[in-house]
A and B are shown apart, each in its own frame.
Chain A
């Protein structure tokens, strides 16, 4: 593709003057891959997802059965990344831990963003509901995720369910705001007016016209939020409110390794490092996506 490609300066979905309309906007993926850091981040994310997906096939050992004669082995010939306090292979634990950690992230983002999207669209579409809904979201927003984590863990007891519920609740108001913001811009476009004039039902209008045109904003938010949720989930597990032993979860593994920090630092450092890499990859990717999807910045 030559450099002469003109990128439309107005937001996606806005009617272009006749002359500009025929010039095609380069695909988002292409814009994304121009940035080397985004390339690396994308590859990291794909690798991590594949590793988590195929953990049972990739793992050389058993995540829950260790050899007590071989505890706290440093990384080396015996075990490539060493063993933990109960003689379990670190590579295996990390792969399974990755699964649990990502599962928490997916569940919380899926539930939280789903509910948040419904509220956001409702607030944008039905102006009468808007005040009440958004006030409610402001209230939720004023409490940090960790406080929800504490409260939910106090009610249901510490565990994965508590973490997922807490992080879902913390995600709802953020998503609702993002969706409402994006939807309000789209609502002002002529084609919405047109669809309405044609007598389209509310439901169809929201699903057919509103949702697809808000997708880029949603996509950026979900990517960035996924990283944050992973970080929060790992933190909650680290302090003991999340995944319980012997469950392999990166935050809980890092906490477990704290006891051997001075003579077997790898037990704590490896899972922490993995969390850092995952979150970093999602953050870099999310930032790059935002830049690629926001034509205003592509000057």
Chain B
């Protein structure tokens, strides 16, 4: 178990290094000179040169990379060229809302997807199964923004039940809670389909297994057979796949945040790229990548905890 975890940790190191290297080259490839941008349009050559010195831009590339790594290790991601706010400060302010949105989406989408998948598998081939599968296919096919716009039009505009822009406060306040509902329905809505499909095929596999037949032969009630014997075993691959789908969810979060003007990290990244705020873009991309490496690591380890067969491999 420990060995498996350590192995995974070691494997993550080169990936992490690759991401940081990519982040470094992001700043190199871009044709704009950060010193000129920082100095502003009216600055004299001397000022620009002074800033070049200060930023270490005249050093050889390898030395610049060490300077960059040194800064990163101290948690310094630079300063936004748009509003001069430290990148880390902006990141700190937006990570919370994004996590909040993702949690609020997962908390209803995963249980619903699992129930739909299990019911579909159990009543395989019936009308109910077909309806559930059709809904799942529609769910994976609908553009996130379309779902968001429909909700805004009906719940926000036509019936004016819920607010649809911004985040007035954290989720535990009444205002904040109301504001997160529509974005969470939108983002969770595109997540139900994949979970339902994965659960269905996994439960179908397990329902045909010997131990389920044995459980039935013992005369256990059908309910127990399905929930205790089939679902519990079917959930192992589902948990892993859900973990790996977190990336997919974050992609949806970037779009959802844009639709609902949600002040999250995805919207921050998009805004930075659109306004050519390179330090901010670099910072958001590095932090998002870091998030994925961590999630994947967690999923790997969790998989080993859930399925003892993986540990030996």
Count of chain B residues with Cβ under 8 Å from any Cβ of A?
A: 45
Instruction: Assess the A147–B289 pair: CB atoms within 8 A.
Output: yes
Q: How large is the interface on A (under 10, 10 to 19, 20 to 34, 35 or more residues)?
A: 35 or more
Please indicate the chain B residues that have their CB under 8 angstroms from the CB of A154 in the complex: 26, 30, 272-273, 278, 281-282, 285
A145 and B251 contact, CB distance less than 8 A: yes
Instruction: List A residues 234-285 near B (Cβ within 8 Å).
Output: 234-235, 238-241, 251, 254-255, 258, 261-262, 265, 268-269, 272-273, 275-276, 279-280, 283-284
**Given A272-B143, A276-B143; A240-B251 close (CB under 8 Å):** no
Nearest-neighbour CB distance to chain B for A230, whole angstroms, equals 9
- Asked if A146 meets B251 with Cβ closer than 8 Å, knowing A139-B18, A158-B273, A283-B140, the reply is yes
Say yes or no: B145 contacts A254, CB within 8 Å.
yes
Is B284 engaged at the interface, CB distance under 8 Å to the other chain?
yes
Contact among A146, A150, A158, A238 for B145, CB-based, below 8 A:
A238
Q: How far does the alpha carbon of A280 sit from the alpha carbon of B139 in the complex, in Å?
A: 9
Given contacts A154-B282, A232-B251, contact A255 B29 (CB under 8 A): no
Q: Is residue B110 contacting chain A, with contact meaning CB distance below 8 A?
A: no
User: Which residue of B has the minimal Cβ distance to A238?
Assistant: B145
A158 touches B143 (CB 8 A): no
Q: Any chain A CB within 8 A of the CB of B107?
A: no
A155 and B149 contact, Cβ closer than 8 Å, known pairs A150-B284, A275-B143: no
B288 to A, closest residue via Cβ: A147
Name B149's contact: one of A157, A239, A272, A280 (CB within 8 Å): A272
Most buried by A among B250, B258, B269, B278: B269
Is there contact, CB below 8 Å, between A287 and B143? no
- Report how far A265 CA is from B149 CA in the complex, Å: 9
B130 vs chain A, min Cβ distance (A): 9
Asked if A155 and B250 sit within 8 Å, CB to CB, the answer is: no
Within 8 A of A (CB), among B95-151: 137-138, 140-146, 149-150
Question: Which B259-313 residues sit within 8 Å CB-CB of chain A?
Answer: 259, 269-270, 272-274, 276, 278, 281-282, 284-285, 288-289, 292-293, 296
Quick check: is A142 within 8 A (CB to CB) of the other chain?
Answer: yes
On chain A, the residues within 8 Å of B293 by CB distance are 142
Q: Per-residue 0/1 for A287-299: is the Cβ within 8 Å of any B Cβ (1 yes, 0 no)?
A: 1000000000000
Task: Tell me if B15 is interfacial: C-beta within 8 Å of chain A.
Answer: yes
Contact A150 B269 (CB under 8 A): yes
Contacts of A234 in B (CB 8 A): 143
Is B152 close to A, CB under 8 A? yes
Contact A231:B143 (CB < 8 A) given known A144-B250, A147-B292, A150-B270? yes
Q: Is the CB of B18 within 8 A of A251?
A: no
B150, B247, B259, B288: the one contacting A150 at CB < 8 Å is B288
Contacts of B26 in A (CB 8 A): 151, 154-155
Question: B152 to chain A: which residues have CB within 8 Å?
Answer: 261
Asked whether A258 lies within 8 Å of B149 as measured between CB atoms, the reply is yes
In the complex with contacts A142-B292, A158-B274, A151-B146 CB distance below 8 A: no
Nearest B residue to A147 via CB reads B288
Q: Does B251 contact A241, Cβ atoms closer than 8 Å? A: no
Please give, as numbers and ranges, the residues of chain B lying within 8 Å of A155 by CB-CB distance.
26, 29-30
For the complex of A and B, 4 pairs with smallest distance between CB atoms: A144-B247, A146-B251, A272-B146, A280-B141
